Amino acid sequence: MSQETDLFELKSLFWDVDLHTLSWEQHRDFVIKRILISGALSDLRWLRAKIGDDSLAAWIIDRNGRGLSPRQLRYWEAILDLPKDTVDRWVEASKTTIWGQRIG
């Protein structure tokens, strides 16, 4: 199965995107972020199988957890064994954003 065909399995997450133009190679970061933010457990399993836990942890760390809610950060801390002190900093930083202040 091609990588583009794989993305069709996730079509409910990409309702606002033409799946025929969405490419794993070209839009990898966009796809990963969308899955992490909005994906169901089956979508998260798909992503973990696709890139592996080490790559997923590196992706989150490289972005300092940006875009993920405190709850999502804590989930990935537990699942991927991310450093607690690092995730603590990200959670605190998320509280200083306008959105974090609104929901915090």
Region for 40 from its dihedrals, namely left if φ exceeds 0, alpha if ψ lies in -120 to 50, beta otherwise: beta
For residue 46, which of 61, 65, 31 has the smallest C-alpha distance? 31
Asked if residues 37 and 14 have their Cβ atoms less than 8 Å apart, the reply is no
Give the tens place of pLDDT for each residue, 47-89: 999 999 999 999 999 999 999 999 999 999 999 999 999 999 9
The DSSP line for 28-96 is: HHHHHHHHHHH--HHHHHHHHHHH-HHHHHHHHHHTTTTT--HHHHHHHHHHHT--HHHHHHHHHHHTT
Of 2-6, 33-37, 44-48, 75-79, minimum mean pLDDT range: 2-6
Q: Where are the domains of the chain?
A: 1-51, 66-104
Residue 43 has pLDDT above 90, yes or no: yes
